[in-house]
Amino acid sequence: MRTYFCVYLSSAYLALLTTPFVIWFARRRGALDKPGFRSVHTHPIPRIGGIAIYLSSTCLIVSLLFMNNAIGEQFREVRLQVITLLGAATCVFLVGLVDDLRRLRARYKFMVEVLAAAVLCLVGVRIGTIGLGETSSISLGWLGWPLTLLWIVTGMAAIV
């Protein structure tokens, strides 16, 4: 648990350190959300802040694969799922970055999110059971697939 907490804090700290550079870069490249009738901002705001979060999170998650402790061993045991998660996150990140710079249609972003979630399900990253208290649980069987897809895509939509 301590390792996860350290990775989380390190990722957050790294994001805080890199965000000013990303803001500077966005301003320099003109990647700004300008005020207008479709914007709530009163002055230009950088659009590509996800770069700092993506790079920070990815670097720290990859580092877990190389840690010489129980957490590193557990991550290496599910290497396929971790690598697939990173690949799916990279695809969603890149589509989001293109959207920030060029404005994509919502259906294309949604298709990539659903495809990324489906690939994760294919490699075994899915909800299999729901715990009911300490002693009982419900096995979802095939319902785990649509529930996982819904959970992942809804989570992405809430963040993006």
What are 28-85's pLDDT values in tens digits? 988 888 887 777 778 888 888 889 999 999 998 898 888 888 888 888 888 999 999 9
Number of domains in the chain: 1
The whole-model pTM stands at 0.84
Q: What percent of the chain has pLDDT over 70?
A: 98
In a domain, 92, yes or no: no
Q: Are 97 and 129 contacting, i.e. CB atoms less than 8 angstroms apart?
A: no
Q: Which domain holds residue 26?
A: 1-77
pLDDT top residue among 1 and 101: 101
Cα separation, 96 vs 74, whole angstroms? 30
Cα separation, 69 vs 83, whole angstroms? 19
pLDDT of residue 147: 94
In a domain, 126, yes or no: no
In a domain, 9, yes or no: yes
In a domain, 6, yes or no: yes
Task: Tell me the average pLDDT across 16-27.
Answer: 93
In a domain, 98, yes or no: no
In a domain, 64, yes or no: yes
